Structure formats: structure tokens, C-alpha cells
């Protein structure tokens, strides 16, 4: 029973909540160090179980899908994302996953490599001699999402999409901390009206693009692929289905890529030796998907950044029926939380876990690592469908930056994450570009 698991209770729970409110990332480490790999807590009627054991992760990721659904924080996004792959459940999700997956195989995503480089180079050219990394890569990732999803320049509609996404992100961040979040959804606060307006703006643009593409079919961008798919009964996606997947891919794709890229590039900026080694590795190879995937130091840099600063700082599930997880009885409705930020910084699996050391992925020290000890994209049947797209995008944009110029930090060199919807840099990361 979860009630027999260790965890904060009584006054200890109040102290834990204060600690959580002050430092959500440090709280994850403290919870494991204080109570162990399985921790239970209760807040009013809501039960929580925190898991830190790779065997528990594997059992949860690969167990019966019918027994669990996305945890309540993810379900908050359903108003904006609809029933796409991030928020969908059951047979609806299975059908969408089956139809969307072929567009995200390693072979399928190779076609976007040129767009990745083109948008990175355009962003660098506009930046000039210096830039704030997160702001720069957020714009690059947005334009990559537009190019790969729609295969065209949105023109005036780009600003509408950009503003709608920013408003949505800001609303969710505020929702996490504001007491107004406790009000019923039908209460028309000013923030909720802005949020609803942003969703309406985004819907208008996306439905316009769907109608235009249905009138003039063709192309090999993701929108064209979503409109062309058919299930075994010959049924196509409805406009609503396409809308949900487009917005899910847009929102989840550009935000996570931008945050990860900012951390990758910042980690390189403070390590000129590592930049030079990566430049030597990349300067003599063709800029193809195959070459990028086979560059060992580049791959190690990306994996180390995902380990330390992965965009998913917390994940989880909620069983819809009572669940037995490796001898632990978890009642239906319990919020099963996977504290990924701390999980990937466990010294039992990663030596010197708080140090950015890509060499650990190349020197054999991680041989025999549990297959579920490193899960930046999740695992099992619900592993992120865009993981190959994301890794290729990260590799291409990083390569473009490294080949363009040496990055010199214009801040104190510290790199800290701040948990929002995804993990973002907690402070500006200005750099100077010194041409190669």
C-alpha cells in the first residue's frame, strides 16, 4: 500500500511544500535523499507517489496502457492541445499514434535537415556579433516548426501564431503559482480571457491552413502528411484531428527544442576546449543527417545536455484502476510522479552527476546502464513520437552554431534551470560570436 511508504506527513508535509515552492528542482533531490526511491504524500484528497527506481520506471512505462492516463498537470493543456498525442488517451490515442508515427521515423525526418540548417544560419546572420541564446534559438525553433509543419512562410500569420503561443505559455506558468487557479474554469478572469483569445487566434490560423491545403493538396511537409494518412478502414483524420496534432507538434516541438538548444549552446560557450573539439569533428564532414548522427562527440554533447537539462523536468501517470507496480499497491487516481531532473542526476548511475561531462557517454563508464535510467523522451509505447526529429534538429542547429563562430559567454558562466511547462534557463545567456 502507498500508505506504508515513507514520505512527508503532518508538519513535515507543510515544510516540504514550502521547500517545493522555493526550489522545485532541489526539492526532487531532497525528497529522494530524505525518503528513498519510493515516496508517498497526500495533499487533501490527492495522493502522490514519487518514483526514482529504474525498474519502477520500466514497469510503469511498459505496463498496461489501459491502467493509466496522463497526470493532471499535462491534462491542463487539453483546452489548447485538444486530443493530440500529448493529451489523448485510449483507443483515440492509439489510432493517432499509429497514423502519425510513420512521419517521424529516422528516414522520414531526414528531409528536414536542410531547413534546420537554413533557419539556424538565418538566425545567426540576423543576430550579428552577439545575442541572448534562449531568445535567439526560440525564434529559430519557431521558424523550424513553421517550415517543417507547413512548408511555407506564414507571412503576417507568423506574428499571430508567435503571440498566441507566448500567451499560452505565460498563462500556464501563472496558473501554476496563482491562487486564481483554484477558481472554477467558468469564472472569466482577465488571464483566462486572454488565454481563450490566444487559443481562438491559433485555431483560426491552423484551420485556415488546413482548408487551403485541402483545396490544393500536395507537398511533403507534416501538414500534408497528416491530411494524407488513412487507417486500415480508409478513414482519414478529421479537420479537428489534424488541428489537435498540428498544435501539439507546434507547441511541444518548438518550446522543448528551444530550451534544450539554449542549454546545449550555453554549456559549450563556457567550455572553449569542448567547442574546439566539436568544431574539429564537424568541420570536415558533410552536413547530412547521417553524418550528424554518426558524430560521436556531438551525440555525447546532446545526450549530456538532455541528462542535465532535459525539457521534461517532471513526468508522470495516473492509474484509472488500482495498480500493482512491482509489489506496490497504488490506488486509482494517485498521481505517480517521475522526478526526471533529479533522476538523471543520481550519483548511483552517473558519476559526478552535477558536472557537464559529455565524455561519460564515450569512455565506457556508462556501459551496462539500465535501459530506463536515461529517459529524456519517456519510454515504452508512449515514448515521444518526435524524438528522432528533435535529436536531428538539435544536432543540426548545434553544428551550425559551432561551425559559424566560437561562442564566448557574456554572463558569469553559471547555468541554472527554472521549471516552467518545460525546463528553461533561469537567467539570460548572452554570448559574443567570434567568427571562425
pLDDT digits (tens, 9 = 90+) for 27-73: 999 999 999 999 999 988 889 999 999 999 999 988 776 565 555 55
Q: What was the pLDDT predicted at 255?
A: 84
β-pair partners for 431: 131, 409
pLDDT in tens, 288-302: 999 999 999 999 999
The residue ranking higher by pLDDT, 191 or 197, is 197
Q: Cα separation of 57 and 342, whole Å?
A: 14
pTM above 0.85, yes or no: yes
- Most confident range (mean pLDDT) of 43-52, 208-217, 397-406 is 397-406
SS3 364: coil
At 430, list the grid cell: 548572452
Q: 278: closest CA among 400, 388, 100, 173?
A: 400
pLDDT of 175 strictly over 70 = no
Residues in the chain: 436
Q: Cα separation of 244 and 26, whole Å?
A: 34
Residue 301 half-sphere exposure toward CB, CA atoms < 13 A: 34
β-pair partners for 434: 406
Beta-carbon contacts of 81 under 8 Å, excluding residues fewer than 6 positions away, are 87, 244, 247, 248, 251
- Hey, what domains does the chain have and what are their CATH numbers? 2-151+219-435 (1.10.630.10)
β-pair partners for 40: 49
The residue ranking higher by pLDDT, 58 or 217, is 58
Provide the pLDDT confidence category of residue 108 given band limits of 50, 70 and 90.
very high
C-alpha pair distances (Å), 389 with each of 99, 187, 224, 232, 243:
16, 39, 17, 26, 20
Q: What was the pLDDT predicted at 304?
A: 98
Angle of helix 157-177 relative to helix 133-150, nearest 10 degrees, comes to 120
Cell 502528411 appears where? 225
pLDDT of 165 strictly over 70 = yes
Euclidean distance between the first and final Cα of the chain, in Å?
Answer: 60
Amino acid at each position: 500500500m502507498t500508505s506504508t511508504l515513507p514520505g512527508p506527513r503532518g508538519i513535515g508535509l507543510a515544510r516540504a511544500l514550502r521547500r517545493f515552492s522555493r526550489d522545485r528542482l532541489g526539492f526532487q533531490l531532497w525528497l529522494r535523499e530524505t525518503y528513498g526511491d519510493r515516496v508517498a504524500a497526500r495533499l487533501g484528497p490527492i495522493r502522490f507517489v514519487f518514483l526514482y527506481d529504474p525498474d519502477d520506471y520500466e514497469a510503469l512505462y511498459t505496463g498496461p496502457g489501459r491502467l493509466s492516463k496522463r497526470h493532471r498537470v499535462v491534462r491542463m493543456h487539453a483546452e489548447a492541445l485538444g486530443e493530440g498525442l500529448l493529451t489523448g488517451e485510449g483507443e483515440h490515442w492509439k489510432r493517432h499514434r499509429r497514423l502519425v508515427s510513420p512521419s517521424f521515423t529516422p528516414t522520414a525526418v531526414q528531409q528536414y535537415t536542410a531547413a534546420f540548417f537554413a533557419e539556424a544560419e538565418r538566425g545567426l546572420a540576423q543576430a550579428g556579433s552577439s545575442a541572448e541564446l534562449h531568445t535567439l534559438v526560440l525564434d529559430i525553433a519557431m521558424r523550424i516548426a513553421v517550415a517543417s509543419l507547413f512548408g511555407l512562410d506564414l507571412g503576417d500569420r507568423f506574428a499571430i501564431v508567435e503571440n498566441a503561443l507566448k500567451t499560452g505559455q505565460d498563462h500556464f506558468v501563472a496558473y501554476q503559482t496563482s491562487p486564481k487557479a483554484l477558481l472554477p474554469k467558468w469564472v472569466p478572469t482577465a488571464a483566462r480571457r486572454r488565454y481563450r483569445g490566444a487559443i481562438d487566434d491559433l485555431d483560426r490560423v491552423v484551420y485556415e491552413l488546413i482548408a487551403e491545403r485541402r483545396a490544393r493538396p500536395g507537398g511533403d511537409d507534416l501538414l500534408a502528411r497528416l491530411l494524407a494518412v488513412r487507417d486500415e478502414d480508409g478513414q482519414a483524420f478529421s479537420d479537428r484531428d489534424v488541428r489537435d496534432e498540428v498544435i501539439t507538434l507546434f507547441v511541444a516541438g518548438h518550446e522543448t527544442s528551444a530550451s534544450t538548444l539554449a542549454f546545449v549552446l550555453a554549456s559549450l560557450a563556457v567550455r572553449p576546449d569542448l567547442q574546439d573539439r566539436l568544431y574539429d569533428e564537424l568541420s570536415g564532414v558533410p552536413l547530412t543527417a547521417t553524418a550528424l548522427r554518426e558524430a560521436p562527440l556531438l551525440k555525447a554533447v546532446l545526450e549530456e545536455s538532455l541528462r542535465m537539462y532535459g525539457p521534461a523536468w517532471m513526468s508522470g501517470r495516473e492509474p484509472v484502476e488500482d495498480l500493482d507496480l512491482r509489489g506496490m499497491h497504488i490506488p486509482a487516481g494517485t498521481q505517480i510522479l517521475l522526478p526526471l531532473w533529479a533522476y538523471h542526476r543520481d550519483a548511483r548511475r552517473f558519476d559526478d552527476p552535477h558536472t557537464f561531462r559529455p565524455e561519460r557517454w564515450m569512455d565506457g563508464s556508462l556501459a551496462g546502464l539500465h535501459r530506463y535510467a536515461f529517459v529524456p523522451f519517456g519510454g515504452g509505447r508512449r515514448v515521444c513520437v518526435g524524438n528522432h526529429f528533435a535529436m536531428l534538429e538539435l544536432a543540426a542547429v548545434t553544428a551550425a552554431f559551432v561551425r559559424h563562430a566560437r561562442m564566448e559567454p557574456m554572463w558569469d558562466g553559471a547555468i541554472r534551470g527554472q521549471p516552467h511547462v518545460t525546463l528553461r534557463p533561469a537567467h539570460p545567456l548572452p554570448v559574443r560570436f567570434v567568427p571562425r
